[in-house]
Structure 1
Amino acid sequence: MQSTVDDVSMMVLCNSTFRQNRTSTEGYFLAGKNMTWFPVGASIFASNVGAPMYIGLAGTAAASGFAVAIYEWHAVYLLIALGWVFVPVYVASGAYTMPEYLKKRFGGRRIRIYLSVLALILYILTKISAEIYSGAIFMKQLLNWNMYACILIILAVTCIYTVAGGLTAVIYTDTIQTIILLIGAFVLMILGFHKVGGWNAMIAKYPYAAANYTLANTSVHACGLPREDFQRIFRDPKTGDIPWTGAIFGLSTIGIWVWCTDQLMVQRCLSAKNLTHAKAGSLMAAVLKILPFFLWIIPGMISRILFPDEIACADPVKCEEVCGNRAGCTNIAYPLFVLRMLPGGLRGLMLSALLAALMSSLTSIFNSASTMFTMDIWRRIRPHSKQRELMLVGRISGAFWGLMAGLATGLSRMVVDFMFPAPVCGSNDPDNRPAVLKEVHFLHFAIIISGVCALVTTVVSLFTKSRPPEKIRRLTFWTRNDPKEPDISDSEVDDDSEDENIQTVEGIPPIQSQKSIPKRMYHWLCGISDKPRPKLTEDEKVLIRKKMTSISEKPFWKSLMNVLAIIVAIGTTFMLGFFN
């Protein structure tokens, strides 16, 4: 009886505490931990399906066929691992961010700062720049606007509702945009199959999809004709553009970071109201990751069949005339497909789908980046930051040595890659790249980096004192169900005030004050509330902590999720075998 009363009390207190999601760090960064499985799953999928999916995925398929599907279907297994292996540990730890979790798990502050700074740099150099550039290419092809104007419009629209709404706005917007982009891509796929004559006709025509001058000139066949193994997903370890050894082993290490430890994905699961909804959301995203093969990869191949002179250009001079890129024009396969296949109204639908995908990814990146900057970096700079300051900053903004070794190894390859670019196919330039670039595929190099990290971490750990068991309670998969909280020494306690991070309880009238309209808009934009913040009792703090870190599940739903996860994994395995 007492247990039931405690559960009801916890539910009432937590609902009232986190309901106004924009005015607390829990609400702004974790959507009040009140999200259901459908928006969680839709947001995970939409966060990954950005403009590079329309440009890069379809373009790579136009160039080489089915193999790029491994990146999508490989994610299915890792998304299941996210919900079943990683999220229970993250939730039990009570962490907001991945760097915060690692700080709790391994102790010290340098690993938290290092990962936060590195993630922010990578977001800027890879994710944000790729999204904006790809989106600008698409808009320029469809609207013939200036590239810089497209970039400014993309940034302005995206920033407004990301800054104002927090993760709640991002997730709900992602849900709507997922529906839009799936409808738009599905319509274009059907039209493409109709135009090319169906599946069998596509398979028969693709090997000969080349520019006229390529078919007439045997010297450029290697650059202008598709690969002979275009129907295979797993390709030769030596000659394959995506070797199967790298796809299984190297891609797994990269994929674990992208899907299971990247703040961008983890934050969506942490916003779920309970572990069952987090599992269901990750499983829904896993199912949706099967679709890109049909919605973007196949249309990319069809585009090459229909427009070979542009998409399959093999001469650097002619490629530069078509798309301004001497290396090739497969990246415009999907935009050109949209431009020439659809009438005006449907073309507008696809532009909406593109912008939806683009903004979904950018808003997710911005929100996750602001979370890490605010919670992991700003709190170190300003250890006594008040709730209001954290909200404003969030809107504008052992293991350690293993990570450092991996960073040094990866940077060495990147520097060499910039110093010795690959010669453009079809040109007479010699390939003077060192063997580490010419002979070692980047997925194979990922295996090397993982080995270096594992070796250094193991060696250093053997010469350092391990953390005692009482300090890793609820911080590993094997200790996630420990009823006790981990022991924290005085040196490990963060300086931020817990009371300042607790949301105002509803029902208390706001302080009556006259504010100007600009000040009201400022307070609304920054999520600043004038409501008084009552002092919570120790029991109430315990209840809130229990809500935030609970990983309990009802037996029926737990069993159902397990069965569905097995079905999805088996189905994906069958498809990988079928298309190989």
Structure 2
Amino acid sequence: MDSLTIIWVIVCAYLLLNLLVGVYCHIRVKDSTDYLLAGRRIGVLMTAGTLAATEIGGGSTVGVAAKAYGSWGLSAGWYVVSAGIGVILVAFIAPLLRRAMATTVPEIIGRRFGGSSHLITSILSMLATITLAGVQITATATIISVLTGLSTELAILICGAVLVIYTMSGGMWSVTMTDVIHFFVLVGGFSLAVPFVLHNVGGWETVVAKLPPEQLGFTKVGWKTIIGLIIMYFMTFSTGQESVQRYFAAKDEKTAVLGSIICGIIMALFAFVPAVLGLVALAEFPNIEANNAVATVALNLMPPIMA
């Protein structure tokens, strides 16, 4: 098979795998608690994995590479380090979230401040979550579009359909199981990609020689931005339904805390991997769209299976 065919087969198989996991998890759903919160039975490693897969998404991979390709350079990695620190800080309030025995963030707000606050928070939460879903689907579709040659619009429809079907099929169980798969593919795949890519361009020294020196500044983005990101992440991770639902689903308070800390450490260790790929893209393909940096590197500098 040629390279494009191999990529097509792997992408289709991956999408199919997610659908099958969603259908399989449907049989584990016995009631609304199973559907919405995986029965509140998620262990430490599953909690860490689903949190990491939730937070290491399109922004932390495609977005970081695009920022590294653009004005942030290597310091784009702080986007994910800051998120990791934010997740670790949430560990301090994770017991309170788990102890609430709630299903949603607006539910907690409603208990304290009444029905009007519950309604307002629900609307805000819904708008934020819809926007987040749109960004993640677009990030996925961008990669698939470049790798396969599909139009971005068609790729968005396909990715969105797969996401909706497997989520509806098994609820939080299917989301958690597919999150763990996403975690290993994202973190493992990106980390393994770096040595392949650097080898194919002649090593890190070759990349550095082609870049403006300022692109390699470790804190080029500035400490104000870094501190601002940490504060933003702490506030959004402690209130965003996509994050808090993982704490609600944890087996107990200790699980929620340990899962949060492990997730934060993993994110900090992974942070600069997409930034390196973005810098390689800038060195080798200086005239592409920044958002296509990861996909362009994958298509041109990796074996098809790795891509």
CA contact (8 A) 2:129 2:241 kept: no
The separation in 2 between residues aligned to 1:33 and 1:333, in whole angstroms, is: 39
The reply on whether 1:49 has 2:27 as its aligned counterpart is no
> Against the structure 1 CA distance between its residues 270 and 54, is the aligned structure 2 distance closer, same or farther, given a 3 Å change threshold?
same
The reply on whether 1:120 has 2:80 as its aligned counterpart is no
The reply on whether 1:67 has 2:45 as its aligned counterpart is no
The separation in 2 between residues aligned to 1:277 and 1:169, in whole angstroms, is: 20
CA shift at 1:179, angstroms?
1.2
The reply on whether 1:132 has 2:92 as its aligned counterpart is no
Greater fraction helix: 2
Q: 1:81 corresponds to which residue?
A: 89
CA contact (8 A) 2:238 2:244 kept: yes
CA shift at 1:137, angstroms?
1.8
Q: 1:333 corresponds to which residue?
A: 293
Q: What is the CA deviation profile of residues 243-271 of structure 1, one whole-angstrom value per residue up to 9, with x for unaligned ones?
A: 422321x3243212222221111111221
Q: 1:254 corresponds to which residue?
A: 232
The separation in 1 between residues aligned to 2:90 and 2:165, in whole angstroms, is: 30
> Against the structure 1 CA distance between its residues 194 and 48, is the aligned structure 2 distance closer, same or farther, given a 3 Å change threshold?
same
Q: 2:283 corresponds to which residue?
A: 305
Residue pairs, 1:37-436, within 5 angstroms: 37-64=44-71, 65-83=73-91, 85-105=92-112, 107-124=113-130, 126-207=131-212, 228-235=213-220, 242-248=221-227, 250-308=228-286, 310-311=287-288, 329-347=289-307
Unaligned runs of 5+ in 1: 1-19, 208-227, 236-241, 312-328, 348-580
> Against the structure 1 CA distance between its residues 294 and 78, is the aligned structure 2 distance closer, same or farther, given a 3 Å change threshold?
closer
Amino acid at match of 1:284: I
CA contact (8 A) 1:206 1:302 kept: no
The separation in 1 between residues aligned to 2:83 and 2:38, in whole angstroms, is: 25
The separation in 2 between residues aligned to 1:181 and 1:291, in whole angstroms, is: 13
Residue pairs, 1:509-520, within 5 angstroms: none
The separation in 2 between residues aligned to 1:342 and 1:232, in whole angstroms, is: 26
CA contact (8 A) 2:76 2:272 kept: no
Q: Bigger relative contact order, structure 1 or 2, given CA contacts below 8 A and separation 6+? A: 2
How many residue pairs align between the two structures?
A: 280
Q: What is the CA deviation profile of residues 303-330 of structure 1, one whole-angstrom value per residue up to 9, with x for unaligned ones?
A: 111222x23xxxxxxxxxxxxxxxxx22
Aligned-residue Cα RMSD (Å) equals 2.0
Amino acid at match of 1:72: V
The separation in 2 between residues aligned to 1:76 and 1:157, in whole angstroms, is: 28
Normalising by the residue count of structure 2, what TM-score does the alignment of the two structures yield?
A: 0.84
The separation in 2 between residues aligned to 1:35 and 1:205, in whole angstroms, is: 47
The separation in 1 between residues aligned to 2:53 and 2:47, in whole angstroms, is: 10
Amino acid at match of 2:207: M
Instruction: Report the structure number with the largest CA radius of gyration.
Output: 1
1:289 counterpart SS class: helix
CA shift at 1:39, angstroms?
1.1
CA shift at 1:21, angstroms?
5.2
> Against the structure 1 CA distance between its residues 177 and 252, is the aligned structure 2 distance closer, same or farther, given a 3 Å change threshold?
closer
The separation in 2 between residues aligned to 1:187 and 1:113, in whole angstroms, is: 46
Amino acid at match of 1:159: V
The separation in 2 between residues aligned to 1:245 and 1:257, in whole angstroms, is: 17
Unaligned runs of 5+ in 2: 1-26
CA contact (8 A) 1:189 1:294 kept: no
CA contact (8 A) 2:54 2:242 kept: yes
Amino acid at match of 2:256: A
Normalising by the residue count of structure 1, what TM-score does the alignment of the two structures yield?
A: 0.46
Amino acid at match of 2:158: I
Q: What is the CA deviation profile of residues 349-399 of structure 1, one whole-angstrom value per residue up to 9, with x for unaligned ones?
A: xxxxxxxxxxxxxxxxxxxxxxxxxxxxxxxxxxxxxxxxxxxxxxxxxxx
